Amino acid sequence: MKDHTIRPELREWILSTTRSGHSLYDLLKLMRDSGYGAEQSQQIVARVLNLPINNVRTAARQAPQTHRAQHPKAPEQVVNGHKVRVTVSTDGPIVRVLEGLLTGEECDQLIAQAEPRLQRSLTVDVDGRYQTDERRTSVGMFFEIGETPLVNTIEQRIADLLGVPVSHGEGLQILHYLPGQEYEPHFDWFDPTQPGFNAVTARGGQRMASVVMYLNTPEEGGGTGFPAIGLTVTAMRGSAVYFAYDTGDQSSLHAGLPVIRGEKWIATKWLRERPYQA
């Protein structure tokens, strides 16, 4: 098939659909649903995306690896020999407080591994670029997936607890807050009306859940607030708050409340719909 046979609107649609995080499988299915033949749509997609036709044919046979997290239900779950208790549970928004997700020793080791690499925390601006932001005054760093044996163990524990493969997680983020520092109310899902949406979701799709793990117990303040339901989760060393959301879920608004005395350390894992490429 020659390039000139592909209409510019179709070419643009294929590019924007791919940029917005749809898999090749979805893209080809959408084309077939709108009347293109299987072979025809594969040829067009290979041309537009400059991919070998065999890769496109393989993608057409594989359903996308999307996963929904299984929100922990049982009051107590044993994950790879490690006991986790669900002590608070709400379904609008979906929030679970997970006691004992990490051991005290794991918390201390994570802090020690992260501390030499801390930098001012960033947020993602409307164009998908990272920026410093007065709403987020902590310092932090990211580990690569499986970067250390400890990070690997924690990632596997979260994956087993929630039924979402490790590959769907963004790298573990460590944050450190001092008195007065906070993260003002925000959503973790990416806003589709913002210009940067396609760029941030191109690598793994939308975020679908967050796990904020507390690595120490601040002397005062520093909980995680969910203002839509008036819930404050107390930051307690080794426990975590898991929350899940769909795009646009206003009830998932949350904040890292100001630390009043002492300091606060957290590790955050964000989970994507599909395997995430850093």
Residue whose CB is less far from ligand AKG, 198 or 252: 252
Residue whose CB is less far from ligand AKG, 43 or 224: 224
How far is 168 from 19, CA to CA, in rounded Å? 18
Residue whose CB is less far from ligand AKG, 189 or 197: 189
Instruction: Point out which residues bind ligand AKG (CB under 6 A).
Output: 183, 188, 212, 224, 254, 256, 266, 268
| In the complex, least distance from residue 183 CB atom to ligand AKG, rounded to whole angstroms | 5
Structure-token pair, residue 75? 């009051």
| In the complex, least distance from residue 34 CB atom to ligand AKG, rounded to whole angstroms | 38
Residue whose CB is less far from ligand AKG, 141 or 212: 212
How far is 110 from 143, CA to CA, in rounded Å? 10
Residue whose CB is less far from ligand AKG, 136 or 274: 136
| In the complex, least distance from residue 214 CB atom to ligand AKG, rounded to whole angstroms | 8
| In the complex, least distance from residue 256 CB atom to ligand AKG, rounded to whole angstroms | 2
How far is 72 from 95, CA to CA, in rounded Å? 10
Closest residue to ligand AKG, judged by C-beta, is 256
| In the complex, least distance from residue 17 CB atom to ligand AKG, rounded to whole angstroms | 28
Residue whose CB is less far from ligand AKG, 26 or 191: 191
| In the complex, least distance from residue 254 CB atom to ligand AKG, rounded to whole angstroms | 5
Angle of helix 8-19 relative to helix 24-33, nearest 10 degrees, comes to 140
| In the complex, least distance from residue 48 CB atom to ligand AKG, rounded to whole angstroms | 36
Residue whose CB is less far from ligand AKG, 239 or 268: 268
How far is 198 from 209, CA to CA, in rounded Å? 19
